[in-house]
Amino acid sequence: MGADPIRAGEIVVFNVDGRDIPIVHRVIKVHEDKDTGEVYVLTKGDNNFDDDRSLYARGQRWLNRRHIMGRAVGFLPYVGWVTIIMTERPIIKYVLIGALGLLVITSKD
């Protein structure tokens, strides 16, 4: 991810222990332990009322640098809803894949 420090306000991609799908949310707090130099990060989705602690692993209060996979370089509003909908309602995913497959089969060169 690079050696640049993580700053509040940045949008980061992170993965929480026990979850397969990465999450893209904004950093709202950064805490550095003076003794160890370890950096701790707290995130929040822009449209969420509370911070992301309820999304973290059980008992986890902060993200460590190892959880952060990268930083956003641009954004597409509401695109995350596609992932959420397809995860919560798998039938939509299958219908979409079926429709795309049908389109490929029926299309002419």
Residue 29 makes CB contacts below 8 A (sequence gap 6+) with: 8, 41, 42
Structure tokens at 97: 């894949």
Tell me the C-alpha to C-alpha distance, in Å, between residue 108 and each of 37, 89, 99, 101: 60, 32, 16, 13
State residue 2's pLDDT score.
58
Write out the CATH class of domain 1-75: mainly beta
Q: Domain segments of the chain: what residues?
A: 1-75, 77-109
Residue 38 has pLDDT above 70, yes or no: yes
Cβ neighbours, 10 Å, residue 12? 22
State the pTM of this model: 0.67
